[in-house]
Amino acid sequence: MLVRREPPATAARPGPRVLQVAAEIFPLVKTGGLADVVGALPPALAAEGLDVRVVLPGYAAIADSVLHQRRVAELGPMFGAARVTLRLGRLPYSRLPVYLVDAPLLFRREGGPYQAADGHEWPDNLQRFALLGWVAAHLATGELDPGWAPDLLHAHDWHAAMSHAYLAAHAAPVPSVFTVHNLAYQGLFPAGDFALLGLSARFMAAHGLEYHGQVSFMKAGLKFASRITTVSPTYAREIATHEFGAGLDGVICGRRDDVSGILNGVDRAVWNPETDTALASRYSAAQPEGKMRCKAALQQQLGLEAAEDRPLFGVVSRLSAQKGLDLLLAALPRLLAEGGQLAVLGSGDAALERAFRDAAAAQPGRVAAITGYDESLAHRIIAGVDAVVVPSRFEPCGLTQLYGLRYGSLPVVRRVGGLADTVVGATPETMSDGTATGFSFDAATPAALEGALGLAVSTYREPARWRRLMAQAMAQDFSWAVAAREYRALFEILLRPRAGRSAGTPLRGGAGGVA
């Protein structure tokens, strides 16, 4: 996948040194939107003038791609690895400095970052991601690299969350931010494995990592980070409720004043219809003609009826309960009866994979279902469809609706989380005041989704209205520069003398707190 990234502009104000901690990064290792964020946010922070480095597990796909590597520290045997070496190099594409946790026994293996090829979680995930957190924390305390130590640590999701616990164990005066990309994945392990973490017993308590008799890595972030962010303001409010809290709403409420939402952006080096080399034809809001060629090429590639006038709906998604695609399966007969087509690219839940394949077999020419993971096809679907469907039960941010907006493929979304924050559903009012950018619905029911899809189909039949919506969608600017400025403002609050220096210290008066 081609990534066109300009070198970061030199900023006027030198910013703080920030260590980013994560378990995946686009384009090297990706299972979902987390990788897109970790690929885009550090360069955006660097463009804002921050001195940013990233620490990542040394999976083969990363370790074999990082340029100009040199050894920074030899850590010997730990967490079940025969030897751990810390290396520093530069990321291809962005050239950002990156630390690699090189532990071949733990990270260099066939399969995914969290699971074996058969779909089972790696049995030593506790050790693997405890090691990532341990290394990040010790980099932050300045113990591992005599040449560089960050002012602040910023970790993403449960895989990186243990860095906060190890910082707390050191009583290290390094402020930290923990970003929750998805509260539903928590990194839970048997209590008996706690001993492998090398933490004192006081950490295995309700005010620490203990969660209903298990060890929770997610809780390490939620309890010990100085501040918690989520990837949209609405999700930041939602996770304080029983409905969206995934069993951790009590913990979130306990940190109420420290939780805020910063919306993800679109990486324009990767998702831009004007430069996207995956497409049959490039296009822009000013010259949208190429989009029809993308639609025709997609219909041909997927064996769909070559019909310009049929509204083509698309999905690019993990197939999991979160994404609400069972609602789409239920709404499909009505969508097809109204003349629509559907293209689905996804992988995950075997029953959903089968159901979409069955739908495609039953409706050849009208429904196409591709099971698997295909970055280039994802681009061609986002560009070639008329509308991108994201009917999620919950959605911390969601990126495909943002890509849809950018590519003039109108999002049809459930009004939750980041979907609610990024798409303005068409109503008589939003159509007439020119703010509508897509279609939305509230209830997680097939009927509610059918209503939104039906409105999309009838609007599609009025080309002038559809074109107005497309222009409005493509004019949206969900940029990483905006998000990077918000993160920088948050970091600067934490770096003020005496503010947020102790782990988990409640901070009052921060912007966007949970109401």
**Closest approach of ligand ADP to the CB of residue 85, in Å:** 31
Q: Shortest Cβ contact with ligand GLC: which residue? A: 33
Residue 346, binding choice from ligand ADP, ligand GLC, none, Cβ under 5 to 8 Å by partner class: ligand ADP
Residue 375, binding choice from ligand ADP, ligand GLC, none, Cβ under 5 to 8 Å by partner class: ligand ADP
Q: In 231-374, which ranges are continuous DSSP H helix?
A: 233-238, 249-254, 289-302, 325-337, 350-362
Q: Which is nearer to ligand GLC, 62 or 231 (CB)?
A: 231
With binding defined as CB under 6 A, does residue 395 bind ligand GLC?
yes
For 77, residues 6+ apart whose C-beta sits below 8 A from its C-beta are 83, 84
Residue 400, binding choice from ligand ADP, ligand GLC, none, Cβ under 5 to 8 Å by partner class: ligand ADP
With binding defined as CB under 6 A, does residue 161 bind ligand GLC?
no
With binding defined as CB under 6 A, does residue 503 bind ligand GLC?
no
Q: Which residues bind ligand ADP (CB under 6 A)?
A: 32-34, 36, 316-318, 345-347, 373-375, 378, 397-400
What is the C-alpha separation between 258 and 270, in angstroms, rounded? 32
Q: Which is nearer to ligand ADP, 136 or 278 (CB)?
A: 278
What is the C-alpha separation between 136 and 91, in angstroms, rounded? 17
Judge contact between 230 and 236, C-beta under 8 A.
Answer: yes
DSSP 195: G
Give, as ranges, the residues between 130 and 159 that touch ligand GLC (CB under 6 A).
none
**Closest approach of ligand ADP to the CB of residue 319, in Å:** 8
User: 294 burial class (0-12, 13-18, 19+ CB within 10 angstroms)?
Assistant: buried
With binding defined as CB under 6 A, does residue 261 bind ligand GLC?
no
What is the C-alpha separation between 505 and 258, in angstroms, rounded? 9
Q: Which is nearer to ligand GLC, 214 or 322 (CB)?
A: 322
- With CB under 6 A as the contact rule, which of the stretches 107-115, 220-228, 390-398, 439-447 interacts with ligand GLC? 390-398
With binding defined as CB under 6 A, does residue 221 bind ligand GLC?
no
Residue 231, binding choice from ligand ADP, ligand GLC, none, Cβ under 5 to 8 Å by partner class: ligand GLC
Judge contact between 421 and 263, C-beta under 8 A.
Answer: yes
With binding defined as CB under 6 A, does residue 37 bind ligand GLC?
yes
Q: Retrieve residue 218's tokens.
A: 């997610």
Residue 457, binding choice from ligand ADP, ligand GLC, none, Cβ under 5 to 8 Å by partner class: none
What is the C-alpha separation between 12 and 110, in angstroms, rounded? 45
Read off φ and ψ for residue 139, nearest 5 degrees: -65, -40
For 79-150, list the strands marked E by DSSP.
81-90, 97-102
**Closest approach of ligand ADP to the CB of residue 287, in Å:** 24
Read off φ and ψ for residue 195, nearest 5 degrees: -60, -25
With binding defined as CB under 6 A, does residue 34 bind ligand GLC?
yes
Residue 23, binding choice from ligand ADP, ligand GLC, none, Cβ under 5 to 8 Å by partner class: none
Number of residues that bind ligand GLC (CB under 6 A): 14
Strands 341-348, 312-319: parallel, antiparallel or unpaired by DSSP?
parallel
**Closest approach of ligand ADP to the CB of residue 500, in Å:** 28
For 293-393, list the strands marked E by DSSP.
312-319, 341-348, 367-371, 387-390
Q: Which is nearer to ligand ADP, 72 or 419 (CB)?
A: 419
Neighbouring C-beta atoms of residue 76, cutoff 10 Å: 10
With binding defined as CB under 6 A, does residue 396 bind ligand GLC?
yes
Nearest in space to 349 (alpha carbons), one of 329, 370, 371: 371
Q: Is 27 left (phi over 0), alpha (psi -120 to 50) or beta?
A: alpha
Q: Shortest Cβ contact with ligand ADP: which residue? A: 33
Let me know the angle formed at the C-alpha of 165 by 161 and 171, rounded to the nearest 5 degrees.
Answer: 140
Q: Which is nearer to ligand ADP, 24 or 151 (CB)?
A: 24
229 CB-side CA count, 13 A: 24
With binding defined as CB under 6 A, does residue 260 bind ligand GLC?
no
Give, as ranges, the residues between 397 and 436 that touch ligand GLC (CB under 6 A).
397-399, 418
What is the C-alpha separation between 469 and 475, in angstroms, rounded? 10
Residue ranges in contact with ligand GLC by CB under 6 A: 32-34, 37, 181-182, 231, 264, 395-399, 418
